[in-house]
Amino acid sequence: MKVLIELTYYRPHTSGLTIYAERLAKALVKRGHNVTVLTSQYDKNLPEIEIQAGVKIIRAPVLFRISKGVIMPTFGFLATKLALENDVIHLHLPQFDAAGLALRGCLLKKPTVITYHCDLQMPKGILNWVANQAVHLMNYLACLFTDRIVTYTQDYADHSSLLKKFSKKIKIIDPPVELPEINSQDIQSFKAEHNPDGHHPIIGIAARFATEKGIEVLISAMDRIVKMLPKAEVWFAGPYKNIMGEEQYFERLLPRIEHLKKNGNWKFVGLLNPEKMAAFYPNIDMLAIPSLNSTEAFGLVQIEAMINGKPSIASDLPGVRQPVLRHKMGRVIPVGDADALSRAVLEICKDEKNFKDRPNQIKEQYSPTSIAAQFEALFNEINEKKKK
């Protein structure tokens, strides 16, 4: 089967969406499918065409940007060409360009599936508001033209204003989650590098430094936590400097972070490759997901942590709360509640054994191979209906 996957940003750009798409693309290749990714050449240093792990990546040159969106003059030509060449179209929303490809899929009678990752909520500002409305409209049209819409949880589908309009098209499929296999020496080396002073507890956060991630909630919680646990430390794994559209947010929080860093209670461990991330989780005591709005729909990093036996503290948001509720590993806290976050940290430290589940079972449930098989079955199901 020839599968076309389309999304605005693909690897090496780092976000939950791009990691999801990469894992699924590679898993489909391993299952014998021919996979092409159509995306933007958001960085001019990236090649327009390359092959990674059997996945062919085609990047449309970017003429200019509008907020986080990109304008790609050749995208329409590439979309038509690739829609004709492939058997199945798989789109990742939210994004502006998916509607055109979904329409092509509809007209060409190609099975077309959307994975809807989250609602879009841009930062404040007139330009961002206009961009937000445009993407909302294009997302709606994409959903209108597509055959099925995949989302991670029924919880999120029930609360998304867009997905509620297309409830008959919804298909729930877990996200693909995996980490490389590493040895105990790699884990110890990571500890020696980042925790030579024996800080405890280590509260991990794995994310882009972005407004919706609620980083200020964790900062406020740390002001309380260190009074009870002076050696507590946050490890921030992920990009944090010069994030598109988030520069002011970072500058605003930086003085408070610098204060925590000075006292040994905060560390930026940087953007980690998959092997380093696999060493990151065994060295933390818990993960924090203090997200603020529906741009976070699940939090793949929660499953990565749980596979390593580490509980998560997650905001009480549709979808985001599901890993903790499903696997009983952690605590769900009210959105934006720093006091509740600090209490959850103290509670987990006090009774760590009560926050363990069956990591191997969780690992199998979310394995990319298993998830790719479910997408394959969905593609075949749609194809059979179109033949009737």
Domain boundaries, the chain: 2-176+367-387, 184-365
Task: Residue 148: name the closest of 377, 387, 388 by CA.
Answer: 377
In the DSSP assignment, the letter for residue 211 is: G
What's the confidence (pLDDT) of residue 15?
85
- Is residue 203 within 8 A of residue 288, CB to CB? The reply is yes
pLDDT given for residue 69 in this prediction: 78
CA–CA distance from 350 to each of 72, 197, 284, 291, 353 (Å)?
53, 21, 15, 24, 9
What pLDDT shows up at residue 243?
83
Neighbours of 254 (CB within 10 A): 13
CATH architecture of 184-365: 3-Layer(aba) Sandwich (3.40)
pLDDT computed for residue 7 by the predictor: 96
Question: Can you give the pLDDT at residue 308?
Answer: 93
Q: What pLDDT, on the 0 to 100 scale, is given for residue 135?
A: 82
**Domain spanning 2-176+367-387, CATH architecture:** 3-Layer(aba) Sandwich (3.40)
Q: What is the pLDDT of residue 141?
A: 96
* pLDDT (0 to 100) of residue 123: 62
* Mean pLDDT per 10-residue interval, the chain, length 388 residues: 96 90 97 98 96 97 83 95 97 93 96 93 68 84 97 95 95 95 96 94 95 95 96 96 86 96 96 95 97 89 94 96 94 97 95 75 94 97 88
Same CATH topology for 2-176+367-387 and 184-365: the answer is yes
pTM tops 0.75, yes or no: yes
Q: Say what the pLDDT of residue 127 is.
A: 67
Q: Look at residues 93, 89, 105, 98 and name the one whose alpha carbon lies nearest to residue 163.
A: 93
E-strand stretches of the chain:
2-6, 34-41, 49-52, 55-61, 64-66, 69-71, 88-93, 112-116, 148-151, 170-172, 202-206, 233-237, 266-270, 286-289, 312-315, 330-333
Residue 88's pLDDT is what? 97
d(CA 64, CA 337) in angstroms, rounded, equals 39
Q: Tokens at residue 301, please?
A: 């990093």
pLDDT of 361 reads 87
- Phi then psi dihedrals of residue 321, to 5 deg: -80, -15
- Alpha carbons 60 and 90: distance in angstroms, whole number: 17
Contact present, 382 and 113 (Cβ < 8 Å): yes
Q: What is the CA radius of gyration of the chain?
A: 21
